[in-house]
């Protein structure tokens, strides 16, 4: 944007560096809240809109020059088209875990939440989850049931309580096995009433025995965590080789925890350890 798109659109709209300047925060605002794509076509279009409207204001003597700030972006482009994804929660909460997902336009931070109700052991899954993700939820539930005593959960909990797992942004389809450990952590938190740390995000597939298996899209997911201001990430041990794909300056500020079992995940993710 700074090296090519902005200079190109300034020239196209007859502007020079004295008449218009974009601060970095303004460009980030356009990128994050006015475009959602894998390329830069829409980004260039929105920068062109800003330049064109600024040129009109200069020609009509409304102003002599303009510094494009975040406030100016909203004034010129209108209300943001997209909600800024991936802001971590303000407080540790019970039954709410931060997961990392891969999408066609990059990584995203997804909140996974669970709530308990009196019932007969029904498991409800919502949030437009695909078949593989639904199977991951069932596997996570079976793992927790098999280890209930270790987590200090009554063995008969599944007979007396219904569990509802939801991943918000229900209009967006979601699938894949990498939410397995996120769902398992959410379930353990909901049943033990132990809050999940808000500064931890995770991704990994789970087996019935609690093993954590490798997943894809590591680079995109860790960049999403960094963008959200999350410092601690839980990643399968077998994905260690994928860290080579990330810029060193990102790795320097992220604390990547490589795990092999759900016991390690629980130890890192929860405020305190469940008591058997």
From first to last of its 276 residues, the chain has per-residue pLDDT tens of 999 999 999 999 999 999 999 999 999 999 988 998 878 999 999 999 999 999 999 999 888 899 999 999 999 999 998 876 555 557 899 999 999 998 777 788 889 999 999 998 899 999 999 999 999 999 999 999 999 999 999 878 888 899 999 998 755 778 889 999 999 999 999 999 999 999 999 999 999 999 999 999 999 999 989 988 899 999 999 999 999 999 999 999 999 999 999 999 999 999 999 988
Active-site residue, from 136, 178, 198, 219:
178
- pLDDT given at position 63: 87
- pLDDT given at position 171: 57
Active-site residue, from 174, 198, 219, 221:
221
- For 55, residues 6+ apart whose C-beta sits below 8 A from its C-beta are 13, 14, 15
**Nearest alpha carbon to residue 17 among 32, 2, 31:** 2
- Which residue is listed with tokens 């993700």? 133
- pLDDT given at position 108: 86
Per DSSP, the residues of 72-122 read: HHHHHH-S-SSPPP-PPPSS-BTTEEEEEEEETTEEEEEEEEEEEEESSS-
**Nearest alpha carbon to residue 21 among 63, 54, 61, 56:** 54
Which pair of structure tokens corresponds to residue 173? 């389809």
- For 178, phi then psi, to 5°, come to -75, -5
pLDDT in tens, 16-33: 999 999 999 999 999 988
Tell me the CA distances in angstroms from 154 to 98, 157, 159, 275, 276, one per residue in order: 26, 5, 10, 12, 10
Q: Whole-structure pTM over 0.75, yes or no? A: yes
Active site residue 12: no
- pLDDT given at position 257: 97
Active site residue 221: yes
């Amino acid at each position: 944007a700074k090296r090519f798109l902005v200079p190109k659109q300034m020239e196209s709209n007859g502007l020079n560096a004295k008449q218009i300047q974009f601060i970095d925060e303004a460009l980030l605002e356009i990128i994050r809240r006015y475009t959602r794509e894998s390329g830069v076509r829409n980004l260039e279009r929105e920068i062109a809109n800003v330049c064109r409207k600024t040129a009109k204001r200069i020609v009509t003597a409304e102003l002599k020059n303009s510094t494009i700030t975040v406030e100016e972006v909203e004034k010129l482009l209108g209300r943001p088209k997209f909600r800024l994804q991936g802001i971590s929660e303000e407080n540790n909460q019970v039954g709410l875990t931060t997961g990392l997902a891969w999408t066609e336009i990059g990584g995203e931070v997804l909140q996974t939440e669970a709530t308990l109700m009196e019932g007969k052991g029904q498991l409800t899954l919502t949030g437009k989850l695909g078949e593989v993700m639904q199977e991951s939820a069932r596997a996570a539930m079976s793992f927790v049931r098999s280890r209930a005593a270790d987590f200090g959960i009554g063995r008969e909990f599944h007979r007396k309580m219904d569990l509802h797992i939801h991943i918000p942004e229900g209009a967006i389809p979601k699938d894949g096995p990498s939410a397995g450990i996120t769902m398992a952590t959410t379930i353990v938190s909901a049943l033990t009433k132990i809050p999940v740390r808000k500064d931890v995000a995770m991704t990994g597939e789970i087996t019935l025995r609690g093993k954590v298996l490798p997943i894809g899209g590591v680079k995109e997911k860790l960049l999403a965590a960094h963008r959200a201001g999350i410092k601690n990430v839980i990643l399968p041990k077998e994905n260690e080789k994928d860290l080579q794909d990330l810029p060193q300056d990102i790795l320097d500020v992220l604390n990547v925890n490589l795990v092999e079992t759900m016991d390690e995940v629980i130890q890192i993710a929860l405020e305190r350890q469940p008591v058997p």
